[in-house]
Amino acid sequence: MVLRWRPAAIASYSLQQTGGARAAYNWHATLNEMGMVVVSSSITIGPITEALNEDGEPIGASGAYLEKKLPRFVDDLKWWMEAASAQRLRAAPPY
């Protein structure tokens, strides 16, 4: 599968307060180098044990943050997916 010209979104988490931000930063560069468009929305959750319970349901302040940020994150990725799909119908990628 060719990954060029496809959108990507980065969600990261960790057991610490940083929420995997350093890993997300590195993934951004890697995905760009692969020719993918990384959307502007991102989610960093930390500590993950204070954001989701065992059933994956949001809890506490971190869970509230996740519930607040997730809709925009999903909408941003969906918009870019639709835009890329429409553009591929109009013209083949340049390389």
* Triad 56, 18, 71: Cα angle to 5°: 45
Give the model confidence (pLDDT) of 42-60 as tens digits: 999 989 999 999 999 999 9
Domain ranges of the chain: 7-90
pLDDT at 41: 92
| Alpha-carbon torsion (35, 37, 38, 40), positive or negative | positive
- This prediction's pTM: 0.84
User: Three-state SS for 80?
Assistant: helix
Which residues are within 8 A (CB) of 16 and not within 5 positions of it... i.e. 6 or more apart?
A: 46, 47
